């Protein structure tokens, strides 16, 4: 059932434990669902309640701590963890106004004699709230709580061969999903019907492999609202002339390949046409800078040089490391393609380069997801890099 | 573009401000995307970066604080907030390893002379991390940070007429989505193709109104894994004989109507058949207890009495308040249908009652979403309450 064999999970654990040793961490509490999946193979929509992995230095297997409902029938049956590595709190802890699941976690830490140790937590993860921190701090007064945020994420940044294969599959699904968008975007179509076509293609996948839910739903900002890149859709009908920026991802076994393309319903304005051409030229230049030895900021610099020729400046980053993830983000929160990011590119790092151009009355977004190869880059999807005109 | 008129938003703000006064809170920082939508009408997939609403006592309009990319072209164009009520941080704060968006928020609080006030934050919300709390605590040493968790959620528990109408629409969409599941679940079908059919129906909606993305993807635990209720799907094919527990929601303009039904591919075992009948009997009894004046625990007690007759005990809660929401949960994190919850039922409270019966080798889940009426309850969807046999 698991997408990787046990040795890959053990190898990942070893890399994380090496980081723990380097940072003088005795125990690591992992709440990021992507990190939990990466290390335990745990894949379920149970992250809406408090759950985590406990990683120590002397055990190759992490311990899952979570809700009883998810623990034994779920974790033990679907991950490489055995039942000795599962601890579960009773259901009255769930969304309780009188007690907190982290109180239970403190008890587990005491039982394992970790309560006077140096314990790292993922301080800025969605699934490690302020209340979780405060409960743990109160429950473990003799522990030293330190920041282990994105520690595992940085281990994830270079993908294994097996992970790359899953991302290539995700790229194939992204092609199908984007084709569904291009096919259905037309004057008179309801936005929700276009979104439904995209979802259908994303989840069906291909005849050979199925689709998984991407960590972000299709984003379809259009017309004047296209300047706001994170809008979703309504049930309004598209008018005769409008530009729609489509951002979506293919996803397979939680691995993503995001893609943005822009579709003009009706003839685009001169300006939109020009912006699209500049975007493609800039994106191509960025991709040419994507090779081992260069840095993340080199990729952004190549883009910046192109748009500067045309008198355009763009404030925001143009991409980020990505791969395995869960809602609400497919980005890994490690390397970003922006000035100042001196992360050195290495083979099998994987990025989404999305230099969105957002203006007051329209937006153009054309992107590629790719891996760094031995001497350059390889995109996960193969889809025309242009403004589509319907 | 907004689903409610300005007076409804102002009314919601007044209720929240009354709670703030009662709790001696000068300023409230709201990070829950559902609460942000409830009070500002803000609806975008921008919650993966730090963003919030600031509510004070002397302004009927909240202030949005978020990423520049989302602020002016998004918030100002799509909510009832004017541009004087929007503050935006620059893109280099996003997922930075050297600074935190909450540092910017502290600066805003100082500028507004709120830095020595009693400030409430949503301590246990997914979108208020430990790092956010620690940054704010450091940035505002003279402020008193107190817990405003679920303060707005409790205001949301009684829905307006307009909200109920949106939930009825969500109920119609839930019917279509569940019908898609029942129609496509069969031996030989790939799990992902069933999921794709469900997604298609969820997002298309009806001819009259479109669907929105539910806060949780369809959950399709099957066979032995059906004991683990939060599993999603794979691309494996269903065998000749298996029981699939389907949990999904219809969603319209972020309002949900969840529903669970169970489908047996092939003839169900005697035991599964019996469990399904007990579940329906228990659910019916629970619904009969759903009326003004009763409490949340009365609903659970009615269910518990029925299953006790058959010698069954169930540990977990059987439901929760729900309505407007964003990933990763459609539950409101306020009232739960479980022992000890003495919340008194009032008209237009809305619940999902899902008494899932999870066993080692199969699971049965049959649920209803409903509102409390003047003298009883009304379900949002109308779908046969039974075990489906294909």
Residue A225 has pLDDT above 90, yes or no: no
| Three-state SS at B330 | coil
| Three-state SS at A259 | strand
| Three-state SS at A53 | strand
Q: Would an 8 Å CB–CB cutoff place B76 in contact with chain A?
A: no
Q: Would an 8 Å CB–CB cutoff place A154 in contact with chain B?
A: no
Query: What's the rounded mean pLDDT across residues B158-179?
Result: 98
Say what the pLDDT of residue B224 is: 77
Residue A69 sits at the vertex; the CA angle it makes with A66 and A75, to the nearest 5 degrees, is 60
A181 backbone dihedrals φ, ψ, rounded to 5°: -65, -50
C-alpha radius of gyration, chain B, whole number: 22
User: Do residue B132 and residue A124 have CB atoms under 8 angstroms apart?
Assistant: yes
Query: What's the rounded mean pLDDT across residues A264-290?
Result: 97
Residue A224 has pLDDT above 80, yes or no: no
Residue A101 has pLDDT above 80, yes or no: yes
A129 closest CB neighbour out of B97, B126, B211 = B126
Residue of B109, B120, B113, B112 lying closest to B144 (CA atoms) = B120
Pairing of strands B387-389, B255-265: parallel
d(CA B271, CA B275): 6
Say what the pLDDT of residue A126 is: 97
Q: Which residues of B touch A358 (CB under 8 A)?
A: 69, 73
Query: What's the rounded mean pLDDT across residues A133-140?
Result: 97
Residue B227 has pLDDT above 80, yes or no: no
Residue A118 has pLDDT above 90, yes or no: yes
Query: What's the rounded mean pLDDT across residues B123-144?
Result: 98
| Site from A42, A100, A192, A336 to mutate, B interface, most B CB atoms within 10 angstroms | A192
Q: Which residues of A touch B204 (CB under 8 A)?
A: 192-193, 196
| pLDDT-above-70 percentage for chain B | 100
Domains belonging to chain A, first-starting first, are 6-156 (3.40.350.10), 161-389 (3.90.230.10)
Residue of A289, A159, A147 lying closest to B131 (CA atoms) = A147
Q: Would an 8 Å CB–CB cutoff place B250 in contact with chain A?
A: no
Q: Would an 8 Å CB–CB cutoff place A43 in contact with chain B?
A: yes
Residue of A214, A213, A232 lying closest to A222 (CA atoms) = A232
Say what the pLDDT of residue B225 is: 75
Query: CA-nearest residue of chain B to A232?
Result: B44
Query: CA-nearest residue of chain A to B254?
Result: A234
A228 or A385, higher pLDDT: A385
Q: At what angle do helices A130-139 and B130-139 cross, to 10 degrees?
A: 90
With tokens 């890099």, the residue in question is A385
H/E stretch holding A27? strand A27-30
B229 pLDDT band, cuts 50/70/90, is confident
Residue of B84, B51, B53 lying closest to B70 (CA atoms) = B51
User: Do residue B199 and residue A195 have CB atoms under 8 angstroms apart?
Assistant: no
A129 closest CB neighbour out of B124, B320, B358 = B124
Query: CA-nearest residue of chain B to A121?
Result: B130
User: Do residue B192 and residue A203 have CB atoms under 8 angstroms apart?
Assistant: yes
Enter the ipTM: 0.96
**Total residues belonging to chain A:** 390
User: Do residue B129 and residue A125 have CB atoms under 8 angstroms apart?
Assistant: yes
Which DSSP letter does residue B8 get? H
Say what the pLDDT of residue A314 is: 84
Residue A315 has pLDDT above 90, yes or no: no
d(CA A6, CA A2): 9
Residue A45 has pLDDT above 90, yes or no: yes
Please give the interface size between A and B, counted as residue pairs whose CB atoms are below 8 Å apart.
239
pLDDT by residue (tens digit) across B348-385? 999 999 998 988 788 899 999 999 999 999 999 999 99
CB atoms within 10 A of CB A60: 13
Say what the pLDDT of residue A227 is: 73
Say what the pLDDT of residue A98 is: 84
Residue of A255, A197, A274, A187 lying closest to A222 (CA atoms) = A187
Q: Would an 8 Å CB–CB cutoff place A264 in contact with chain B?
A: no
Say what the pLDDT of residue A228 is: 80
Tell me how close the Cα of A83 comes to any Cα of chain B, in angstroms: 14
Q: Would an 8 Å CB–CB cutoff place B120 in contact with chain A?
A: no
Query: What's the rounded mean pLDDT across residues B262-275?
Result: 96
A197 pLDDT band, cuts 50/70/90, is very high
d(CA B387, CA B390): 10
Say what the pLDDT of residue A360 is: 78
Say what the pLDDT of residue A226 is: 74
B386 pLDDT band, cuts 50/70/90, is very high
Residue A167 has pLDDT above 80, yes or no: yes
With tokens 């997801």, the residue in question is A369
User: Do residue B73 and residue A227 have CB atoms under 8 angstroms apart?
Assistant: yes
Tell me how close the Cα of B202 comes to any Cα of chain A, in angstroms: 8
Q: Would an 8 Å CB–CB cutoff place A331 in contact with chain B?
A: yes
Query: What's the rounded mean pLDDT across residues B193-219?
Result: 98
C-alpha radius of gyration, chain A, whole number: 22
Pairing of strands B118-121, B144-147: parallel
Query: CA-nearest residue of chain B to A362?
Result: B73
Q: Which residues of A touch B331 (CB under 8 A)?
A: 48, 95
Say what the pLDDT of residue B73 is: 80
Query: CA-nearest residue of chain B to A136?
Result: B130
pLDDT by residue (tens digit) across A6-30? 999 999 999 999 999 999 999 999 9
Say what the pLDDT of residue A359 is: 82
């Amino acid at each position: 059932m698991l997408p990787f064999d046990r040795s890959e999970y053990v190898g990942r654990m070893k890399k994380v434990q090496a980081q723990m040793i380097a940072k003088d961490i005795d125990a690591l509490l992992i709440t990021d669902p992507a990190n939990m999946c990466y290390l335990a193979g745990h894949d379920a929509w149970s992250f809406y309640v408090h759950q985590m992995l406990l990683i120590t230095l002397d055990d190759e297997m992490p311990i899952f701590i979570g809700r009883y409902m998810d623990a034994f029938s779920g974790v033990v049956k679907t991950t490489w963890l055995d039942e000795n590595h599962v601890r579960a709190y009773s259901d009255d802890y769930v969304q309780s106004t009188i007690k907190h699941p982290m109180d239970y976690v403190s008890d587990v830490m005491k039982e394992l004699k970790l309560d006077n140790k140096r314990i790292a937590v993922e301080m800025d993860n969605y699934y490690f709230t302020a209340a979780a921190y405060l409960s743990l701090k109160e429950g473990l007064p003799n522990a030293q709580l330190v920041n282990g945020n994105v520690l595992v994420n940085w281990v994830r940044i270079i993908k294994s061969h097996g992970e790359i294969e899953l991302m290539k599959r995700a790229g194939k699904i992204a092609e199908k999903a984007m084709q569904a968008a291009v096919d259905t975007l037309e004057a008179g179509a309801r936005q929700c019907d276009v979104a439904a076509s995209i979802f259908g293609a994303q989840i069906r996948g291909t005849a050979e492999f199925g689709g998984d839910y991407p960590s972000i739903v299709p984003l379809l900002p259009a017309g004047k609202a296209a300047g706001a890149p994170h809008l979703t859709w309504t049930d309004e009908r598209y008018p005769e002339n409008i530009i729609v920026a489509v951002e979506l991802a293919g996803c397979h076994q939680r691995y993503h390949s995001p893609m943005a393309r822009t579709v003009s319903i009706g003839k685009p304005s001169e300006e939109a046409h020009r912006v699209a051409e500049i975007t493609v030229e800039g994106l191509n230049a960025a991709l040419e800078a994507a090779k081992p030895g260069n840095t993340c900021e080199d990729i952004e610099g190549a883009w910046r040089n192109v748009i500067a020729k045309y008198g355009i400046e763009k404030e925001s980053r143009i991409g980020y490391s990505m791969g395995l993830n869960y809602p609400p983000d497919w980005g890994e929160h490690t390397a970003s393609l922006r000035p100042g990011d001196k992360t050195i590119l290495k083979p099998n790092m994987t990025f989404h380069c999305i230099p969105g151009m957002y203006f007051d009355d329209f937006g153009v977004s054309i992107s590629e997801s790719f891996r760094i190869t031995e001497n350059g880059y390889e995109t996960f999807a193969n889809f025309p890099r242009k403004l589509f005109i319907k």
